[in-house]
Structures are given as C-alpha cells and as structure tokens.
Structure 1
C-alpha cells in the first residue's frame, strides 16, 4: 500500500512530470509572409545538431513548415513570456504576429524564415522528417546564434497545465562529467 501522501496521477497528466526543453518560438516564411508559432514540446536528438518539435495541422504555421521544409527556432527568455503566450493563443492566418507583439524579424543566412531579434538565441533549421502519426517534426540545425549582450538569459519551461517553470541557478559539473561524455561534446 502507498503512503497517504502519495496520490495516483491520471495517466493523461504524466506530461506534467516530464517537461521538455524550453518554450520556443518557431518562425516560418511561405509566400513571402512571416509567421510565428509557440511550441512547448521540443527535444534534442542524440549529440548531433538534430532537434524535434511537436506540432501538427491544427497550427497555422505548420502548413508553411511542411511546404518550405525550413524554420527558425527562436529561444525567448522569461521577460518575453506574455508575448510568447499571446503568440500561442492567436492565429497567423489573420494576424501579423511580428507586428502585433512588437518583435523584429532578422533575415537568416541559410533559410528564408526570420530570426527574432528579441530572443536570446536563434537556430536555423531544415526539416528532415515529419512523423504524422506522432505530430513530430525532425529538424537539422544548419546555423545557431546567441545574443551575448542580452542580460536576461533565463528560459521558460511549460509544465503543460498552464503553469511554467523558469530556469534558476546554473550548476557547473562539467569537470566531473568530462570523462563520461562522448568525444566532441
């Protein structure tokens, strides 16, 4: 028998226990029109520059992502949380999200999708695979940029129930792990 303080969680809620990487903004450009979508389910695949995001046809920008097979993953910080939420709760079908949320598009070097000036980092990506059964888009990073002048560096992680966790203190254990990491990491 379980101790009284331990309660059973509905299986449909387990995603709140294993939150993925930070909430990101994904930009696309199709037909000369820039768009942005908020994505809270991201993952790194292996130790390569391969990433994946979870999204699908319910998201207006997904059609552009499928058509152009490229995007930018922009990593916002906690000071942008309200804009990130706003972007995720309106549709690019009828909204210029860059204008509405005061974000600055910057041309990329390798893809047509724009970087976002206000974000801490931007990663230009090409689509490797779309796994429709699981709504997963597999991406290869082709270039990455970090704004070293940006003071705010804390990212936001979605729990999945409308609440968020902000990155806290950074703990450095690189020396202890150095001999355990694969070569080149």
Structure 2
C-alpha cells in the first residue's frame, strides 16, 4: 500500500449523497450544496456539516428548520453552481431555474426538480464539529423522475455516481430491525 497524507483520509470515507439544503429567513429563500451528510440510525434523523461560512447558516440557526433536497446526477452543474456562489448576492432559485414548492411543516421550500425532499427541524447544533442534527418531519419522493442516480462527493472535486443496485434483502432479513 502507498501512503496517503492524513489530511486527505476523509476522501476515503465518502459520506451520503450530495444534497441541496434549503432555508428561508422570512425575506428570502436560499439553497446551499452540502456534501457531508449522515444518517443517524434507522429513523428520520440526520446530520449535516456546515457553519457560519455559509450564508444559509444564519437562517438555519434562527429558524431551526430546513429541507434536505436530493438531486440526481443530471443536476451536477446546478449542484456545483449552487455551491460556488453565495445566496447573499444571488437568487439561486432564479439563477439555476429551480422551482420552489411549499412544504407542509416548514417555511423552507422543497425543490421540484429533485428526486426527493425531506422537511426537517434542527434539534441540535454541535459547534465544535460544525454538525447540525435534524429530525425529519415529512419525506417526498418523485417516482416519476427518470433519472434516479445520486452523486457522492469524494472531496477533491471528483464525484462518484450511484451504480446498479444489488439485492441481498433475503440474506439480511433476519439481521435488519423490523419495518425495514
């Protein structure tokens, strides 16, 4: 094996899919790209990594709500574009042709063009690690959308695209919590 600089070790543990996180601060809806996400157990509890360097963070901290929108591979240029400009001086919904949809539980909008959306409440902010812990309130999935492959950021400007599914449900059935 070849040595890898320790500061690049995070690229080996690629997290969940790249997501778009929407917020609303009563004056303006905004969306940011988040590449570090985490599922917390077998429930609708999640965590994202962000902090005050992101314009959306103030709205997230003040309103304690957001929507996690899950884009697909055909949206890669939009995903990168959203992540490389600031909502402070850009209406990202307009610039990237995104359609905001009203949610049932939070003011932050769902994104129509995404494969799925999860309305969330902030339940904890762990400043030391820039982790926002979220409880999901409602989830939506667009099963009519043709493209369903998601993107995963490696952390060095490259991405991995989901591939084919391999079904081992029967083999794992006795090992999974009930209801899954």
TM-score of the superposed pair, with normalisation by structure 2 = 0.99
Which stretches in structure 2 are left out of the alignment for 5+ residues? none
Deviation of 1:34 after TM superposition, in Å, equals 0.2
1:48 to 43, 47, 64: 43
Answering whether residue 75 of structure 2 is matched by residue 83 of structure 1, we say no
Equivalent in the alignment of 1:131: 126
2:102 to 80, 101, 107: 107
Deviation of 1:32 after TM superposition, in Å, equals 2.9
Larger radius of gyration: 1
> In structure 1, the residue corresponding to 2:106 is in which secondary structure?
coil
Question: 1:75, 1:82 → 2: CA distance?
Answer: 14
Aligned residues: 180
Question: 2:82, 2:122 → 1: CA distance?
Answer: 22
Deviation of 1:175 after TM superposition, in Å, equals 1.1
Equivalent in the alignment of 1:18: 13
Question: 1:126, 1:69 → 2: CA distance?
Answer: 6
Question: 1:79, 1:101 → 2: CA distance?
Answer: 13
Which stretches in structure 1 are left out of the alignment for 5+ residues? 1-5
Equivalent in the alignment of 1:143: 138
TM-score of the superposed pair, with normalisation by structure 1 = 0.96
